[in-house]
Amino acid sequence: MFSVKYLIYFSRQLLYNGHMKRILLTIEYDGANYSGWQKQPNVKTIQGEIEHAIETSIGQTVEVFGSGRTDAGVHALAQKAHFDLNVPVPVSKLPDILNNVLPPDIAIKDAQQVPDDFHARFSQKKKIYRYKIYNSPNKNAFLANRAAQIKQQLDVVCMQDIAQYLVGEHDFRGFCSAQTCTENFIRTIFSIDVARDGDFIKIDVCGNGFLYNMVRIIVGTLVDFSLGKLTKDDVLLALKTGDRARAGQTMPPQGLYLKDAIYQI
């Protein structure tokens, strides 16, 4: 049995099939009020809001494919996601059309047509995450959902020093959550850049892919090393043996920003 909605949808698909365009969206969001990227029943998610916005604004029921999931409370400066546009809407108008119906804490920054075989997740070459630490003993009400606070003074030189051992191709099973569902723990980290900006420390981690909680555990390892809670040997052993207990704490989600997903289109 098909509902009227689906009959309309399939008729439209037939009509515009020749005009199908694969669209890549660049999306900024404040993740504080969402249960993460991935659509789930009965909770607000970024994917759910975007699919709903596409349906209500241009009348097309779609699945939007993200470059990857982000957890509850995690933000994005530039999440990427693709979908197939089957209605005759100019691509350049899509950001304004969607922004008008999306909640104020989700913004479409760009829309562009990509080849039909492009996939936001499988075509990506690199992904960059930023982690933001508020390194101050003072409480700041406006950073509650925007950064992780570490009260003790951190040493960015020390953090950058230990980071170099994580750069390269490694088995990162010691640097992911026990909930990680994969058989291949090998990932390549291209760079880790640690920089202080006043009371803030920004850590940019660029890699070809990340395991569950991997960025938050890498950052927690740099922090715990700087605080003297871990030695260089602990970190090297966490890499070598894959023993999660040797690596650092899992930093909280609110400091994490998906900064970019990079493709060679």
Catalytic residues: 71
Q: Are 133 and 148 in contact (CB under 8 A)?
A: yes
- List 139, 229, 232, 240, residue binding its own copies (CB under 8 A): 139
Name which of residues 4 to 33 contact its own copies (CB under 8 A): 28-30
Task: For CA atoms 238, 72, 76, 153, give the dihedral sign.
Answer: negative
Residue in the block written with tokens 């052993």: 237
Terminal-to-terminal C-alpha distance of the chain: 40
| 146 touches its own copies (CB under 8 A) | yes
Q: Which is nearer to its own copies, 26 or 250 (CB)?
A: 26
Q: Are 9 and 58 in contact (CB under 8 A)?
A: no
Q: Are 82 and 94 in contact (CB under 8 A)?
A: no
| 198 touches its own copies (CB under 8 A) | no
| 202 touches its own copies (CB under 8 A) | no
Cβ 151 to its own copies shortest distance, Å: 11
Residues 57 and 64: their CA atoms lie apart, in Å, by: 15
Cβ 36 to its own copies shortest distance, Å: 15
Residue 131: what residue type? Y
Q: Which is nearer to its own copies, 102 or 239 (CB)?
A: 102
Residues 231 and 158: their CA atoms lie apart, in Å, by: 11
- List 57, 61, 113, 145, residue binding its own copies (CB under 8 A): 145
Name which of residues 85 to 114 contact its own copies (CB under 8 A): 99, 103-109
Binding site for its own copies (CB under 8 A): 28-30, 75, 99, 103-109, 138-142, 144-146
